[in-house]
């Protein structure tokens, strides 16, 4: 877990790098489009990494999930807002929702994984 914060930071930089790529103006898309699936997967990984990075700084798994959602969800909102500055990119509330759902899924996957590892090592 020593380098877990570094992995979360590096992944955040990758997200910003991808958001910095100019794009065409996209037509409005449906809630369950290919684009939303990409956002969901991207932030599921980020939610996992952020949960892993802050694990030692929280008391309970419910705190872990809440702090992860706050940190990664805020980052996702800032990332969406940042896209306003990039030619051909637009911030999207629907993209942020997909990001936020991904963060929750990633955090829950991490919590489940951590519990199974702890249970396997004791039994």
The token pair at 74 is: 């805020």
Q: Give the domain ranges of the chain.
A: 4-17+32-122
Taking the CA atoms of 66, 67, 68 and 69 in sequence, report the sign of the dihedral they define.
Answer: positive
Contact 40, 105 (CB under 8 A): yes
User: Would you state the pLDDT for residue 28?
Assistant: 52
**104 vs 1, higher pLDDT:** 104
Spatial separation of the C-alpha atoms in residues 103 and 50, rounded to whole Å: 9
The token pair at 70 is: 């706050």
pTM higher than 0.85: yes
**Tens of pLDDT along 62-84?**
899 999 999 999 999 999 999 99
Contact 8, 53 (CB under 8 A): yes
**Tens of pLDDT along 9-20?**
999 999 999 899
Number of H helices, E strands in the chain: 4, 0
């Amino acid at each position: 877990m020593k380098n877990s914060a570094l992995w979360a930071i590096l992944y955040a930089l990758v997200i910003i790098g991808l958001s910095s790529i100019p794009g065409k103006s996209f037509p409005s898309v449906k809630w369950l489009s290919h684009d939303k699936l990409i956002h969901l997967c991207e932030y599921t990984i980020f939610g996992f990494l952020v949960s892993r990075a802050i694990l030692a700084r929280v008391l309970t798994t419910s705190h872990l999930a809440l702090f992860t959602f706050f940190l990664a969800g805020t980052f996702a909102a800032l990332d969406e807002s940042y896209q306003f500055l990039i030619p051909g990119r637009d911030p999207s509330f629907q993209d942020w929702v997909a990001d936020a759902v991904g963060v929750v899924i990633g955090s829950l996957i991490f919590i489940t994984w951590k519990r199974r590892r702890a249970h396997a090592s004791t039994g």
